Amino acid sequence: MKIAVLPGDGIGPEIMTQAIRVLDVLRAEGLDMEFVEAPLGGAGYDAYGHPYPEFTQKICREADAVLLGAVGGPQYDTLDRPLRPERGLLAIRKDLGLFANLRPAVLFPELANASTLKPEVVAGLDIMIVRELTGDVYFGQPRGMRVNENGEREGFNTMVYTEAEVRRIAHVAFGIAMKRQKKLCSVDKANVLETTEFWKEIVIDVAKEYPEVELSHMYVDNAAMQLIRNPKQFDVMVTGNIFGDILSDEASMLTGSIGMLASASLNESKKGLYEPSHGSAPDIAGKNLANPLATILSAAMMMRYTFNNEAAAVRIENAVKKVLAAGYRTGDIFEPGMTRVSCSEMGDQVVAAM
């Protein structure tokens, strides 16, 4: 198995080092894995003048899976937009056809007090957010900035979804719901936006093929509120690119920290890119403070979804549970009475618990 490793920017290299150490435990035991490193984002710009350099593109296309840290940083925010790190991330998602972004918000019982919500509201939480990743206002044309007929400057983007795009993500979401509690909530803004009214219509049509799944619909503003009020009402949520981006960050805080939220981005052939849902955290970069668990749990998702190695996935997840049960916490999930550890010490503990 060939794995493209893209550490990226900011805390990316720090959290990636820890995830690779955990995978190395499996490799030392004989699991066939080859890691090939390449730059993405600001690192790609620094090395090759482009956030998704051809060098990286070739390695990622040839790999069986891609493991990514995070991209972005204030030093790149003044570059021309096509050269910014975030564009590298969008480009790799589009290039590899990674349309299905799975973001599981699962509360480890040990972290019930780390959430900013009351423990009883979040205890037992297990939501799967299915976010469409290669369409919507992120990619719609036309887009840009211009001077309008009144001589006024304006910015514009286009929200668009084709029927095929909505159908394929709906099938992924219904398929996942069938393996879980068989409840799917489709999130839209059909009361205002035609694109999402269309989305809802297609989801209702696809639902005919999944009669066992209980389908509901919710406007995105209400969904944002319900996630805080009573998150356990949700099993699987499916939504478009922009709403999914926002709702998944919101859901991460139910689990204690954005540093806990793993993700998988899959294409039609289940080739996947695995990355934490958080960013490059420039405020704590280079300080060995970041929580590496979202990246380590993303590596577990890679074992599950691309390599069909459920045993390896469960092994990594159980190691994380053990470390949390033993009281080890990075700063973002720290509570009094626990043992505060650095990013690398958290890696040490997970490796030891494997």
Ligand X SMILES: NC(=O)c1ccc[n+]([C@@H]2O[C@H](COP(=O)([O-])OP(=O)(O)OC[C@H]3O[C@@H](n4cnc5c(N)ncnc54)[C@H](O)[C@@H]3O)[C@@H](O)[C@H]2O)c1
Check binding of 275 to Mg ion (CB under 5 A): no
Burial category of 151 from C-beta neighbours within 10 Å (exposed 0-12, middle 13-18, buried 19 and up): exposed
Largest CA distance in the chain: 68
* Member of 103, 313, 332, 354 binding ligand X (CB under 6 A): 332
Look-up of token digits 């919507």: 136
Gap between the Cα atoms of 277 and 326, Å rounded:
25
Catalytic annotation, pick one of 245, 271, 274, 328 = 245
Q: Which region, judged by CB under 6 A, interacts with ligand X, from 91-99, 111-119, 134-142, 290-298?
A: 290-298
Helices (H) then strands (E): counts for the chain = 12, 14
Check binding of 136 to Mg ion (CB under 5 A): no
284 binds, among ligand IPM, ligand X, Mg ion, none (CB under 5 to 8 A by kind): ligand X
283 binds, among ligand X, Mg ion, ligand IPM, none (CB under 5 to 8 A by kind): ligand X
Residue closer to ligand X, measured from CB, 181 or 288: 288
Phi and psi angles of residue 86, each rounded to the nearest 5 degrees, phi first: -60, -30
Check binding of 251 to ligand X (CB under 6 A): no
Gap between the Cα atoms of 187 and 221, Å rounded:
9
Q: Is 126 a catalytic residue?
A: no
Q: Which of residues 291-310 bind ligand X (CB under 6 A)?
A: 291, 294
Q: Which DSSP string do the residues of 309-347 spell out, in sequence order?
A: -HHHHHHHHHHHHHHHHTTEE-GGG--TTSEE--HHHHH
Residue closer to ligand X, measured from CB, 239 or 295: 295
Gap between the Cα atoms of 7 and 14, Å rounded:
8
Check binding of 250 to ligand IPM (CB under 6 A): no
Catalytic annotation, pick one of 64, 95, 249, 348 = 249
Q: Is 189 a catalytic residue?
A: yes
Phi and psi angles of residue 85, each rounded to the nearest 5 degrees, phi first: -50, -40
- Count residues binding ligand IPM (CB under 6 A): 6
Residue closer to ligand IPM, measured from CB, 37 or 86: 86
Q: Which of residues 175-214 bind ligand X (CB under 6 A)?
A: none
259 is in an annotated binding site: no
- Name the helix (H) or strand (E) containing 133: none
* HSE-up of residue 188 (Cα within 13 Å, Cβ side): 23
Residue 199 near residue 90, CB atoms below 8 Å: no
- Classify strands 153-156 and 183-188 as parallel, antiparallel or unpaired: unpaired
Q: Is 179 a catalytic residue?
A: no
188 is in an annotated binding site: no
Check binding of 132 to Mg ion (CB under 5 A): no
Q: Detail the residues annotated as belonging to a binding site.
A: 73-86, 93, 103, 131, 221, 245, 249, 279-291
Name the site residues for Mg ion (rule: CB under 5 A).
245
- Report the catalytic residues: 138, 189, 221, 245, 249
Binding site members for Mg(2+): 221, 245, 249
Which residues would be at the binding site for ligand X (CB under 6 A)? 11, 15, 70-73, 86, 89, 258-259, 275, 278-284, 290-291, 294, 332
